[in-house]
Amino acid sequence: MKDKNTMPSMTLLTMGCRVNQFETDTILKMGKECGLRVASTLEEADVIVVNTCSVTLESERQARKLIRRLGRDYPLARVVVTGCYAERSPESFLEYPQVDLVVGNGVKHQLWDRWLACHPETGNRSHREDRVVQDSSDSHRSPSKSSKFSSKSRARASLHVQNGCDRSCTYCLIPQVRGPSVSLSVAEVLDQAESLLQSGSRELVLLGIDVGSYGRDLSPPTSLAALMRELVALVRGRGRLRLSSVDPMDIDDSLIPLFHPGSPLCPHLHLSIQSGDDLIRKRMGRQGGRRDLLERIQDLRRVHPHVVLGADLIAGFPTESAEAFAATLSLVEQAELSLLHVFPFSPRPGTAAARYPEQFHLPDSVIRERARMLREAGCCQFARLTQERLKRPADVLIEKLDHPWAEGTTEDYLTVRFPNQWNDAHGAIRRVNLVGYDPIEKIFSGIIPQLSTELSTGSVDNL
């Protein structure tokens, strides 16, 4: 600590998924509640928290690279490592002298209590053997611990309704680092949603490691569709609702009708697809086949023809033939998947896919080329989307103000910038005509229709 007479200052860095970002925001909030100050720059930080990801070997490599750089560029700062990589392999960070503490996922909610306990006023660094903090019990997997993470961003707020995963995907470590699926009760979710709406939030985003499994562990069991019906009724007329990443097989006949035009449920989904080939999907441990995927997507588009779909895809899974890859590539076009996250396959230690004999693993050059082709196919679909999207107005949640401009996100998850001629405040939802797209800035331009004073919901700054 640079000044022993004041509480330390903190900076937090996030790698990986939206759940990590959500938890980082909450760790920041808890740090403030403990009396820590927010550093305006990395140079000013006494402690830097890195929330890591372990989804691929590359994400782990980037985490190690970042921590080395922090130690080199900010030698006076202490580093705390948390997240999935810290949970999976805490010993990986003990070789870095700048790492003060390694905190597993199960005790993220205790991060500052643990750190401050290791740092009395003397500021002494923890002993090496005390630098790893993990919860060896199952208590961190309970809904009560999950509910400690709540976000109150004014315009867009996250509802963390579920944690962990019960699936057995052969390429994935998530069940090992996040534990089994655990859901908050419907009552807890609704209470949080009401609190966020009353605090001024206008878009609620459901988050979870495996949101589609919501409610199966509760007693009595319930479902994601049942929760969404309750939330749609709560949000209607007050804002809107958005689902995060979900397995297409969890979008059932009870959930699909909630996406009808005019619903507060946004016409946008990010689908956990991974492959469009039946055999590869089976070897991945994914539910359903190609036909099932396309049927769910067609059902969605029958209810809302303009729903925008993204997807997670893996390129180069072991045994993926040219024909299997072609099936995934063609699925991008057939399903009109326009917002892609493409992951080159990397074997994760401890997973079934990593145990495939070497001859079944594809060369890195082939994997990289297939990933490039998938991304290019996604870009082509997005180019088609932009041209079609210019024909219809959008409801833009204003998240940035830069007089005389406003910028925000549409119901189908596109970014728009437009002249703020009605002086709308942060958090308003404004009906805007889309008039162009800048592929460099990756942003639509818009105008408010002449003489229009239509606000879909009120401004948070006027509450």
Q: Region 116-144: what's the mean pLDDT? A: 54
For the segment 11-34, the average pLDDT, to the nearest whole number, is 90
Please tell me the predicted confidence (pLDDT) of residue 327: 98
pLDDT number for residue 4: 56
Q: How far apart are CA 416 and CA 424, in angstroms?
A: 14
Residues 292 and 270 both lie in one domain: yes
Kindly state the average pLDDT of the residues 279-299. 97
- Asked if residue 107 and residue 209 are part of one domain, the reply reads no
Per residue in 160-174, pLDDT (tens digit) is 999 999 999 999 998
Decide if pLDDT at 342 tops 60.
yes
State residue 18's pLDDT score: 83
Q: Are residues 94 and 221 in the same domain?
A: no
| Residue of 92, 96, 103 whose CA lies nearest to 49 | 103
pLDDT number for residue 146: 38
Q: Which residues of 122-152 are buried (b: 16+ CB within 10 A; e: fewer)?
A: eeeebeeeebbbebeeeebbebebbbebbbe
Only one residue has tokens 């605090």, namely 199
Question: 55 pLDDT band (50/70/90 cuts)?
Answer: confident
197 & 220 share domain: yes
Residue 449 domain-assigned?
A: yes
Report DSSP state, residue 125.
Answer: P
Lowest mean pLDDT among 67-81, 128-142, 195-209: 128-142
* Distance in angstroms (rounded) separating the CA atoms of residues 239 and 257: 19
Q: Which structural domain, as residue segments, surrounds residue 447?
A: 394-462
Mean pLDDT of 98-104: 91
What is the rounded distance in angstroms from the CA atom of residue 340 to the CA atom of residue 342? 6
Using pLDDT thresholds of 50, 70 and 90, give the confidence band for residue 108. confident
pLDDT exceeds cutoff 50 at 153: no
Please identify, among 360, 389, 418, the residue that sits at the C-terminal boundary of a domain: 389
**Cα gap 428→387, rounded to integer Å:** 26
* 152 or 364, higher pLDDT: 364
Does residue 179 form part of some domain? Answer: yes
Give CA–CA dist 62/68, Å, rounded. Answer: 10
**pLDDT value of residue 453:** 54
Q: Are residues 99 and 162 in the same domain?
A: no
Among 151-155, 247-251, 386-390, where is mean pLDDT lowest? 151-155
Per-range mean pLDDT, top range of 5-9, 37-41, 270-274: 270-274
Q: Are residues 404 and 383 in the same domain?
A: no
> Which pLDDT band holds residue 2 (cuts at 50, 70, 90)?
low
Q: Which residues contact 388 (CB under 8 A, 6 or more apart)?
A: none
| Residue of 284, 271, 365 lying closest to 320 (CA atoms) | 284
Q: Could you tell me the sign of the dihedral formed by the alpha carbons of 337, 205, 13, 402, in that order? A: positive
Whether the pLDDT of residue 128 is over 60: the answer is no
In this prediction the pTM is: 0.85
The answer to whether the beta carbons of residues 178 and 84 sit under 8 Å apart is: yes
Residue 135 has pLDDT above 70, yes or no: no
- Asked if pLDDT for residue 437 goes beyond 70, the answer is yes
For residues 109 and 51, the model is more confident at: 51
Positive or negative torsion for Cα 292, 294, 300, 303: negative
Say what angle helices 322-334 and 290-303 make with each other, to 10 degrees.
10
Report the CATH number at residue 93.
3.40.50.12160
CA pseudo-torsion sign 280, 284, 285, 290: negative
> What does the pLDDT average to over 332-343?
97
In a domain? residue 4: no
Higher pLDDT residue, 312 or 59?
A: 312
Long-range contacts of 450-454 (CB under 8 A, 24+ apart): 453/422, 454/430
| Confidence grade of residue 308 (pLDDT, cut at 50, 70, 90) | very high
Q: Is residue 379 located within the same domain as residue 416? A: no
Task: Report whether pLDDT(123) > 50.
Answer: no
Boundary (domain end) residue, out of 136, 153, 187: 136
User: Is 1 within the bounds of a domain?
Assistant: no
Residues 6+ apart with CB under 8 A from 340: 310, 311, 312, 313, 332, 374, 375, 377, 378
Q: What is the pLDDT of residue 124?
A: 44
CA distance 430 to 422: 10
Residue for token digits 């759940």?
19
> Is residue 38 included in any domain, yes or no?
yes
- What mean pLDDT is predicted for residues 9-27? 89
What is the Cα gyration radius of the chain?
23
80 pLDDT higher than 70: yes
pLDDT tops 80 at residue 450:
no
Q: Is 228 exposed, middle or buried (0-12, 13-18, 19+ CB in 10 A)?
A: buried
368/272 same-domain check: yes
Same domain for 315 and 263, yes or no, is yes
CA atoms of 458 and 463, how far apart (whole Å): 8
- Read off the tokens for 17: 């998924």
Q: Are residues 68 and 149 in the same domain?
A: no
- 2 in a structural domain: no
Percent of the chain having pLDDT more than 90? 75
Residues 366 and 266: their CA atoms lie apart, in Å, by 37
How do beta strands 156-163 and 182-183 pair? antiparallel
Are 125 and 253 part of one and the same domain? Answer: no
As a whole number, the mean pLDDT across the chain is: 89
pLDDT at residue 463, as a whole number: 31
Mean pLDDT across 273-279: 98
The reply to whether 303 and 413 lie within a common domain is: no
What is the DSSP code string of 284-329?
HT-SS-HHHHHHHHHHHHHH-TT-EEEEEEEE--TT--HHHHHHHH
Which among 82, 81, 84, 88 is positioned nearest to 67, based on CA atoms? Answer: 81
Our count of domains for the chain comes to 3
Tell me, what CATH number does 400's domain have?
2.40.50.140
pLDDT attached to residue 139: 41
Give the pLDDT of residue 3. 55
- Check residue 339 and report its DSSP letter: E
Given 136, 157, 172, which residue is the final one in a domain? 136
> Would you say how long the chain is, in residues?
463
pLDDT of residue 210: 96
What does the alpha-carbon distance between residue 387 and residue 385 come to, in Å, rounded to a whole number? 5
Q: Is residue 3 part of a domain?
A: no
How far apart CA 379 and CA 30 sit, in angstroms, is 39
**pLDDT of the residue at 460:** 40
**3-state secondary structure at position 213:** helix
Pick 392 or 455 by higher pLDDT. 392
Q: How confident is the model at residue 129 (pLDDT cuts 50, 70, 90)?
A: very low
Among residues 49, 424, 193, 436, the alpha carbon closest in space to that of 415 is found at 436
